[in-house]
Amino acid sequence: MSTPEARLINLGITLPEPMKAVANYVPFVISGQHLFVSGQVSSTPDGLVTGRLGETMDLPAGQEAARRCGINLLAQCKAALGDLSKVSRVVKLGGFVNAHPLFTDIPQVINGCSDLMVDVFGDAGRHARSAVACPTLPLGVAVEIDGIFEITN
């Protein structure tokens, strides 16, 4: 069975340096057997992915923005744990989409991140989830996603 890191390589994904907190919070907290990762915004090595779904972005662009959030979540997990194999389950994702009021494909946008979690962790990547639209997000980003992960020592 391949490891999460091996699956990332097969997917052609290199994890970026984890993003630093931009306000009064920490990027992650470990409590008991759970890792709580603060909201990760849509960004690439080239900068923030900004825009509003249904206005300046279409569904595929939103899904890619959510995938970028997932990559950033994984970067925080790696920073917290040192090894993604210590993630035994993706428990829950909370997705927020900067969307025009008439844009309703919010769940499909967040699938960009959910699909990545399943690709990386297999069945252990299947999770509970919320997906909501917002009139704006910090820094004008298109998507923000936080996560709760069950971990092993």
Exposed/middle/buried for residue 20 (C-beta within 10 Å: 0-12, 13-18, 19+):
exposed
pLDDT higher than threshold 80 for residue 108: yes
Q: For the CA atoms of 20, 105, 11, 152, what is the dihedral angle to 10 degrees?
A: 60
Which domains does the chain carry?
A: 4-151 (3.30.1330.40)
Residue tagged 């990547």 (tokens) = 125
10: exposed, middle or buried (Cβ count in 10 Å: 0-12, 13-18, 19+): exposed
Amino acid at 69: C
pLDDT at 22: 86
Collapsing DSSP to helix, strand or coil, 143 comes out as strand
8-43 residue pLDDT tens: 999 999 999 999 998 999 999 999 999 999 999 999
Residue whose structure tokens are 């967040």: 110
- pLDDT band of residue 1 (cuts 50, 70, 90) is low
Query: In this predicted structure, what is the pLDDT of residue 153?
Result: 77
Say what the pTM is. Answer: 0.97
**H or E segment and range at residue 106:** helix 106-121
**What are the beta bridge partners of residue 130?**
94
The dihedral built from the CA positions of residue 18, 11, 145 and 77, taken in this order, carries a sign that is negative
Backbone angles phi, psi at 17, to 5 degrees: -60, 135
| Residue 123: per-residue pLDDT | 97
- Which single residue is written with the structure tokens 């494909």? 105
Structure tokens at 74: 């994984």
The whole-number average pLDDT for the span 118-130 is: 98
